[in-house]
Amino acid sequence: MSINHLEALDMARNDRWDEAHRLVQQYSDPLSCLIHAWLHRQEGDNWNAGYWYSRAGSEMPDNTLEEELQRLYTLAQAAQRRDDE
């Protein structure tokens, strides 16, 4: 079973935080961890967000939530293209 990262991001963008969280928390791939981190950052839980960014091998970025969401969409779209090839 693999995750559809774009679906998780769409859920988050449409204020379906709990559904997006339930979806990504099942996975430990770096992109799922980044999305998981962003979700916690969005709710104001920066400690937990930092943990998930760390799990993704990253530091918490110094950008806005919207900028980070756009970055995650770009990463997810690139991953989807690779999977489709």
How far are the Cα atoms of 41, 60, 62, 66, 84 from residue 25, in angstroms, in the given order? 14, 18, 23, 21, 24
Confidence of residue 1 (pLDDT cuts 50, 70, 90): very low
Domain chopping of the chain, boundaries: 5-84
Residue 73: its pLDDT value, please?
97
Long-range contacts of 20-28 (CB under 8 A, 24+ apart): 27/3, 28/55
pLDDT tens digit string along 47-75?
999 999 999 999 999 999 999 999 999 99
Which tokens is 77 given? 């779209």
Query: Which amino acid, one-letter code, is at 73?
Result: Y
pLDDT in tens, 17-36: 999 999 999 999 999 999 99
- The encoded tokens of residue 5 equal 């990262």
Report the helix count and the strand count for the chain, using DSSP H and E.
5, 0
Residues in the chain: 85
